Amino acid sequence: MSTEILIIDDNADIRNIINDLIVDAGYKTRIAANYNQALNEIDKKLPDVAIIDVKLDKGDNDGLELLSHIKSKNSDIPVIIITGHANIEMAIRALKTGAFEFIEKPFNQERLMNFVNRAVENINLKNKNKEFEDKLFYSYDLIGKSNNIENIKDEINKVSITESRIFINGPTGSGKELIARKVHKQSKRNKGPFIILNAALLDIKKYELELFGEEKENGAISYGALEKASGGTLLIDEISEIQLETQSKILRVLTDQKFKRTNGNHDINVDVRIICSSTKDIKKEIELGNFREDLYHRLNVLEINVEPLNKRVSDIPLLIEYFSEKISSNYNLKKLKIDADNQYLINYEWPGNVRELRNLIERIAILSPDTDEKISNIIKESLKTPDNTTSPIENALSVPLKEARENFEKEYLTTQLKKFNGNISKTADFIGMERSALHRKLKGLGIKELN
């Protein structure tokens, strides 16, 4: 699809000159001769690049209002501002509003086309990066055979066909966003947008602006996440971080199915499915007075709970195999061969959960070690913790034989139980023991059987 450039200028001669230059360069164009035409063209379909005259027919600097309008819809779009009434104050204002370049009339045609070509390169690069990230993220599947992951897959299939709101609980890096994306992808809203609002990353003063948008004094509109997600799904990540005053307004939106933009007077109807997620124990936050119980019950129509990776160790080998194949393919590298039974991988606590495991596999892929030993060394170095700086062998040499044997058996059996998700029969078969004998051994070593 060829690049499309929107030309906005009230002078017909200048519009035609710019249009001819851009068409000759191989780009598509759209033209607007005044403010209202420009607004219609922008709202009808965002261009890849825009060239805007500062002064149109609505008033002084109305071109800067259009710049602000474009940026509120998509901040990545490069906008070149042209003017015959330039001053330093205007140039600074344009650049602060997000202008890509600022050029005075009469302009040098070669200089203008240089700006245009650079703007096209800029947006193409950003689009490619987004495509790569989306492809990477959307291509990821929910991998695992643990009871927790199997239950979540079943829950996704059931909730995707409904319009119900969902609350996803789980630690950082466990896959909450991926679950939300899977729900959206399998829902009837899958043609609509999937918008993420991460409350933990927002300035406390900007929650409402980011959610509801804003109507500015000059008439420009900044659209919030609720409008951007219209017809699709809005994921509010770390919703527990939103202050109580804003929580009450979210509750009102859920009740009335409409809201007003900040500084706005007109009701905006809501057509969006809301999914929320949190790493915090939301019920504890309610007890502490940090979260509204009535809002929680509105949001928590359906609940999905994701366990940390160290509680579903049976998923680790599958995740290693999956990420090794995916990441090697994305980087166009030879597929990695990583020993999924590596004790460092099985016994590590994984505080960063699946994201940390994925990052480890990506690190190994980038470093491209050519031997198993080098791979193992990267794993050991990456997963080294202050409490795990001495090797099991070094620890064993410092105690009597009986104690060393018991320590080894305890570590060995605990690892095997984790690998088989606590299944006694499978563990017994693998290690060559009778089930009853394994039960006795576990009891004798003080190992609690996993449920």
Q: Name the average pLDDT for the chain.
A: 85
Per-residue model confidence (pLDDT) at position 401: 65
Which residues make Cβ contacts (< 8 Å) with residue 160, sequence separation at least 6?
182, 183, 186, 187
Each residue's pLDDT tens digit, 171-198: 999 999 999 999 999 999 988 889 999 9
Res. 298: pLDDT tops 90: yes
Tell which wins on pLDDT, 127 or 312: 312
* SS3 at position 10: coil
Q: What is the dihedral of CA 228, 234, 197, 246, to 10 degrees?
A: 90
> Is residue 54 within a helix (H) or strand (E), and if so which, with residue range?
none
Per-residue model confidence (pLDDT) at position 175: 92
Domain 392-445, classified CATH 1.20.120.50, yes or no: no
Per-residue model confidence (pLDDT) at position 397: 52
Contact 175, 146 (CB under 8 A): no
Q: Percent of the chain having pLDDT more than 70?
A: 90
Per-residue model confidence (pLDDT) at position 389: 46
Contact 165, 275 (CB under 8 A): yes
Per-residue model confidence (pLDDT) at position 362: 87
Which residues make up the CATH 1.10.8.60 domain(s) of the chain? 310-388
DSSP state for residue 293 in the 8-state scheme: H
* SS3 at position 275: strand
- Which amino acid type is present at position 157? N
Tell which wins on pLDDT, 23 or 366: 23
Query: Distance between CA 75 and CA 188 in Å, rounded?
Result: 28
Res. 379: pLDDT tops 90: no
CATH class entry, domain 4-134: alpha beta
Angle between helices 147-159 and 176-186 (to 10 degrees): 40
Per DSSP, helices labelled H in 273-423 are: 282-287, 293-299, 316-330, 343-347, 353-367, 372-382, 392-396, 401-419
Each residue's pLDDT tens digit, 243-280: 999 999 999 999 998 999 998 888 888 899 999 999 99
For residues 84-112, give the mean pLDDT: 82
Query: Distance between CA 67 and CA 446 in Å, rounded?
Result: 68
Res. 446: pLDDT tops 70: yes
For residues 92-112, give the mean pLDDT: 86
Which residues make up the CATH 3.40.50.2300 domain(s) of the chain? 4-134
Res. 334: pLDDT tops 50: yes
Confidence of residue 377 (pLDDT cuts 50, 70, 90): confident
Per-residue model confidence (pLDDT) at position 98: 85
Per-residue model confidence (pLDDT) at position 337: 80
Res. 135: pLDDT tops 70: no
Res. 304: pLDDT tops 90: yes
Among 166-175, 215-224, 385-394, which is the least confidently predicted range?
Answer: 385-394
| Positive or negative: CA dihedral 239, 240, 246, 250 | positive
Which residues make Cβ contacts (< 8 Å) with residue 32, sequence separation at least 6?
6, 7, 8, 38, 40, 41
Query: Distance between CA 102 and CA 447 in Å, rounded?
Result: 70
Task: State residue 167 phi and psi, 5-degree precision.
Answer: -120, 120
Query: Distance between CA 17 and CA 12 in Å, rounded?
Result: 9
Query: Distance between CA 122 and CA 331 in Å, rounded?
Result: 23
Q: On the CB side of 385, how many CA atoms lie within 13 Å of its CA?
A: 10
Per-residue model confidence (pLDDT) at position 48: 93
Per-residue model confidence (pLDDT) at position 38: 92
Per-residue model confidence (pLDDT) at position 309: 94
Six token digits for residue 285: 């936050």
Tell which wins on pLDDT, 133 or 347: 347
- Indicate whether this model's pTM tops 0.85: no
Confidence of residue 409 (pLDDT cuts 50, 70, 90): confident
Contact 235, 226 (CB under 8 A): no
- Strand duo 166-169 + 273-278: pairing: parallel
For residues 213-242, give the mean pLDDT: 87
Per-residue model confidence (pLDDT) at position 331: 73
Tell which wins on pLDDT, 363 or 221: 363
Per-residue model confidence (pLDDT) at position 345: 86
Contact 424, 435 (CB under 8 A): yes
For residues 304-320, give the mean pLDDT: 92
Res. 8: pLDDT tops 90: yes
Per DSSP, helices labelled H in 206-292 are: 207-212, 225-228, 244-256, 282-287
Query: Distance between CA 371 and CA 378 in Å, rounded?
Result: 11
Q: Strands, E, within 105-189: which ranges?
A: 166-169
Res. 137: pLDDT tops 60: no
For residues 347-365, give the mean pLDDT: 89
Which residues make up the CATH 3.40.50.300 domain(s) of the chain? 140-307
Quick check: bond before 106 cis, omega within 30? yes
Query: Distance between CA 378 and CA 272 in Å, rounded?
Result: 45
Task: Give the architecture (CATH level 2) of 310-388.
Answer: Orthogonal Bundle (1.10)
Query: Distance between CA 243 and CA 419 in Å, rounded?
Result: 42
Confidence of residue 50 (pLDDT cuts 50, 70, 90): very high
For residues 96-104, give the mean pLDDT: 86
The closest alpha carbon to 364, from 399, 388, 400, 340, belongs to 340
How big is the chain by its Cα radius of gyration, in Å? Answer: 29
CATH of 140-307 given 3.40.50.300, 3.40.50.620, 3.40.640.10, 3.30.413.10:
3.40.50.300
How many residues are present in the chain? 451
